[in-house]
């Protein structure tokens, strides 16, 4: 049987783009269908625009510090949301065009359309303008990513709730904002909007923010966010939203209520599989809507693969890219390759930032590992000089038997930058003795990582 393409990729996010480019560079006939524009969640509505917002929001704290360092006339004036928003949008357009250009240069056909399965090897492409056509492919890669969702149990949320997608294009900044959720998106937007001058309340139904992170990290971040003036409410969940002249009235599960100008739901994302017509090829999604795959990103259909957030494994851009590389090795080079998900460094661009790699203490305990903890909380030089109470937290988890550092957790300025290098050491299974033998860089906050000597006494 002849096919129109050797490989057809559904979705032009980071994983899909990398797979398509690598495949085309092998001389194969490759196409990628994207119903929005190339770039995916990370470039268009996720980590990239959000990081620009983080940069913008940090200047208010920089100005407070500047006055403490002697800048007597340090002042920001008013933040121009529309000016920033237009600049941000222009930069995203530039980056998306680079993605498109790189695909075309590699020989990939970029198709602006929604793709859905017709049968085992055929896809139906529906353009935004309404035109439809069918194509066939020998191999098909699903890389459609994830999408934020609004909970259905809360009346009024569909009409009055925002998702993270809308936060980059608000007509104006609200005076007050409630953020529902306790994950990384929630705490990142809490820091961003607070830094831009918005009165922020974070509402979370759980006991502690950032479920799945190390407990000490969770508590330290909560303390730091509260110190900065962000209001945090736990064990609370909206059960009804109603528009009033004063704003959006949120009625809570405990009978209390609050009114805020806007309500952001950052309570989760789900794999974007709706509309793919997966049943046409016999692929059944799991309870979360994800495409089940094996260690080589293969679905139950031999010639259909899936990578990235649509598989709901580890939902990070660099992971999707690594999965794409492994897919090309496996499916196109006859070199079965799987990605190792152990010890992936992760950053949360909260304020202050979190950097983490390896085991949390809770994971170490659950695995019955005998471990030691080295930790420190301290005011960095910058905070101490301006009499700020903000502190950095660092924690090392060490396997007692082997002396290998199996977990590193940092909460503080530039933690996202620091954890990349700490990730190399953890991935290489360096011992605490080797960390200790590394000369410190002084004066820096990160030198604490190689000067921690005292074990925590339980």
Task: Tell me which residues are annotated as active site.
Answer: 442
Cα 103 to chain centroid, rounded: 24
Q: Between the CA of residue 406 and those of 41, 400, 426, 437, what are the distances in Å?
A: 31, 10, 6, 17
Q: Which two tokens stand for residue 442?
A: 């002084």
The size of the chain, in residues, is 458
Nearest to 54 by CA among 326, 415, 350: 350
Nearest to 201 by CA among 220, 174, 219: 174
What b-and-e string marks burial along 80-110, b requiring 16 or more CB atoms within 10 Å of the CB?
eeeebbeebeeebeebbeebbeebeeebbbb
Biggest CA pair distance of the chain: 76
Q: Which two tokens stand for residue 187?
A: 């705490």
Residues in CB range of 73: below 8 A, 6 or more apart: none
């Amino acid at each position: 049987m002849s096919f129109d393409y050797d490989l057809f990729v559904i979705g032009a996010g980071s994983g899909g783009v990398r797979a398509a480019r690598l495949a085309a560079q092998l001389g194969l006939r490759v196409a990628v269908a994207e119903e929005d524009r190339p770039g995916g969640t990370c470039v268009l509505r996720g980590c990239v625009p959000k990081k620009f917002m983080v940069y913008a929001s940090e200047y208010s704290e920089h100005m407070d510090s500047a006055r403490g360092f002697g800048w007597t006339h340090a002042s920001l004036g008013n933040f121009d949301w529309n000016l920033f928003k237009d600049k941000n949008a222009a930069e995203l357009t530039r980056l998306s065009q680079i993605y498109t250009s790189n695909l075309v240069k590699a020989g990939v056909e970029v198709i602006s359309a929604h793709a859905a399965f017709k049968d085992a090897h055929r896809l139906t492409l529906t353009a935004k303008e309404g035109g439809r056509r069918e194509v066939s492919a020998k191999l098909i890669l699903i890389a459609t990513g994830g999408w934020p969702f609004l909970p259905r149990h809360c009346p009024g949320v569909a009409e009055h709730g925002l998702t993270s997608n809308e936060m980059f294009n608000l007509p104006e900044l609200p005076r007050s904002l409630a953020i529902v959720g306790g994950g990384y998106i929630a705490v990142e937007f809490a820091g961003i909007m607070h830094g831009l001058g918005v009165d922020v309340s974070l509402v979370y139904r759980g006991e502690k923010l950032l479920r799945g992170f190390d407990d000490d990290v969770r508590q330290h971040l909560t303390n730091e966010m509260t110190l900065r003036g962000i209001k945090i409410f736990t064990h609370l969940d909206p059960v009804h939203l109603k528009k009033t002249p004063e704003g959006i009235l949120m009625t809570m599960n405990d009978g209390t209520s609050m009114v805020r100008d806007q309500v952001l739901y950052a309570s989760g994302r789900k794999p974007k599989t709706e509309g793919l017509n997966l049943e046409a090829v016999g692929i059944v999604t799991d309870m979360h809507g994800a495409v089940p795959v094996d260690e080589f990103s293969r679905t139950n259909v031999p010639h259909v693969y899936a990578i990235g957030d649509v598989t709901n494994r580890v939902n990070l851009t660099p992971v999707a890219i690594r999965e794409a590389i492994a897919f090309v090795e496996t499916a196109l080079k006859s070199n079965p390759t799987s990605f190792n998900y152990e010890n992936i460094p992760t950053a949360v661009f909260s304020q202050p930032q979190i950097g983490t790699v390896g085991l949390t203490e809770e994971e170490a305990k659950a695995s019955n590992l005998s471990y030691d903890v080295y930790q420190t909380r301290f005011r960095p030089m910058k905070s101490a000089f301006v009499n700020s109470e903000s502190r950095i937290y660092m924690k090392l988890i060490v396997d007692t038997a082997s002396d290998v550092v199996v977990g590193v957790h940092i909460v503080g300025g530039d933690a996202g930058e620091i954890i990349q290098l700490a990730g190399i050491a953890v991935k290489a299974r360096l011992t605490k003795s080797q960390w200790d033998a590394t000369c410190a860089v002084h004066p820096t906050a990160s030198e604490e990582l190689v000067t921690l000597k005292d074990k925590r006494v339980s």
